[in-house]
């Protein structure tokens, strides 16, 4: 701090552009600056208190409303989510059976139960290819469920509450059977050496039905909401 020839306080400019007044006085009024008042910067150090504008609040509320409109119906419609999950599971198991047949060079069959509660995956050979399905009389060579290593690959929608209300309401494969068989080439067959003719699987729920179409020979899958 320096004094001019008249004894008045001189202004000092700091390295950051802040203005300091000697003896705690303002050059305009001469009164002391209240404690805690921030320095006023010439270029830097200026303190600005800023809140949300009305436009910003309206924009945020609009985004939240849009998100709620898109998400809430999906969260509330549990039946719709359950049937979609069941369809994805069936498609995944059909694809698994196909790839497993190709990898092991053996037949793999998926049998859909007559009561619509689910299905099972098991091995067949040339010798028992044409045998009718009867789990009460035959001890089938079931595949092991990859998610439960010591459990037969049996999917039952009536177990637990995950697929409550879901059923396989219709199955029409290879001209009227409830089974699909993949051969060593990964294609579908209706008999030993005879390509499959494809078919349809309908999955039903209180919220609606879905149909899985199986293409002849290749077994390509497509899904349609009914």
Span 139-193, pLDDT tens digits: 899 998 877 777 899 999 999 888 989 999 999 999 999 999 999 999 999 999 9
Q: Give the residue from 191, 170, 192, 187 showing the smallest Cα distance to 90.
A: 170
DSSP conformational letter for 86: H
CATH 3.40.470.10 fits 80-225, yes or no: no
Average pLDDT over residues 69-85: 74
**What residue segments make up the domains of the chain, in order of their start?**
1-50, 80-225
Average pLDDT over residues 13-24: 49
Q: Quote the pTM value.
A: 0.66
């Amino acid at each position: 701090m320096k004094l001019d020839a008249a004894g008045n306080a001189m202004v000092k400019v700091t390295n950051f552009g802040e203005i300091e007044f000697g003896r705690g006085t303002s050059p305009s009024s001469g009164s002391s600056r209240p404690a805690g008042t921030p320095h006023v910067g010439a270029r830097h150090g200026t303190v600005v208190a800023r809140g949300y504008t009305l436009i910003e609040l309206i924009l945020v509320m609009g985004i939240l409303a849009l998100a709620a409109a898109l998400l809430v119906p999906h969260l509330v419609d549990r039946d719709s989510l359950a049937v979609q999950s069941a369809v994805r599971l069936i498609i995944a198991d059909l694809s698994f059976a196909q790839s497993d047949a190709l990898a092991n060079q053996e037949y793999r069959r998926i049998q859909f139960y007559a009561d619509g509660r689910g299905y099972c995956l098991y091995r067949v050979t040339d010798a028992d290819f044409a045998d009718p399905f009867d789990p009460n009389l035959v001890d089938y060579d079931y595949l092991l469920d990859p998610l439960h290593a010591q459990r037969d690959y049996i999917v039952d929608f009536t177990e637990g509450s995950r697929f409550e209300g879901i059923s396989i309401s219709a199955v029409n494969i290879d001209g009227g059977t409830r089974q699909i068989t993949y051969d060593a080439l990964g294609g579908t067959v209706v008999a030993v050496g005879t390509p499959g003719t494809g078919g349809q699987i309908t999955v039903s729920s209180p919220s609606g039905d879905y149909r899985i179409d199986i293409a002849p020979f290749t077994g390509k899958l497509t899904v349609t909401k009914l």
